[in-house]
Amino acid sequence: MKITTEKTSEVLVIHPEGRLDTMTAGEFEKEVTPLIRQSGLNVLIDFGKLDYISSAGLRSILILAKEMKKKENNFALCCLNETIMEVFRISGFDTIITIYPTLENGLSFLKGT
């Protein structure tokens, strides 16, 4: 799994690539959590290059979302493929995490707040 980040003045954008599963979720969490804490910005995770997410990945996303909620920063996802979107629907995550169809959508909304 590969993780890249970019920062604007108000939004921290994270681009995970490949699989977010049992084996990689821990690594993802370890890498992303400090970044979020340091930046203190709104966070947008771009799922555009994510092929696969399992319950372990969902768990990491939920932990991040809870952390952001506590800090009262905004947290959103964008660019989920069809299958991942189905997983989010089944798990009910789509009701608690804001999901944007495109990166631009996400950025503009997060900047606007």
Q: Which positions touch another protein (CB under 8 A)? A: 19, 21-23, 52, 54-56, 58-59, 62-63, 65-66, 69-70, 82-83, 86-87, 90-92, 95-97
Count Cβ atoms below 10 Å from residue 113 Cβ, excluding itself: 9
Cβ 6 to another protein shortest distance, Å: 25
Which one, 35 or 63, has the nearer CB to another protein? 63
Minimum CB separation of residue 112 from another protein in Å reads 21
In the complex, minimum distance from the CB of residue 54 to another protein, in angstroms, rounded to a whole number: 5
CB proximity list for 75: less than 8 A, separation 6 or greater? 42, 43, 44, 64, 65, 68, 69, 97, 98
Cα separation of 47 and 54, whole Å? Answer: 13
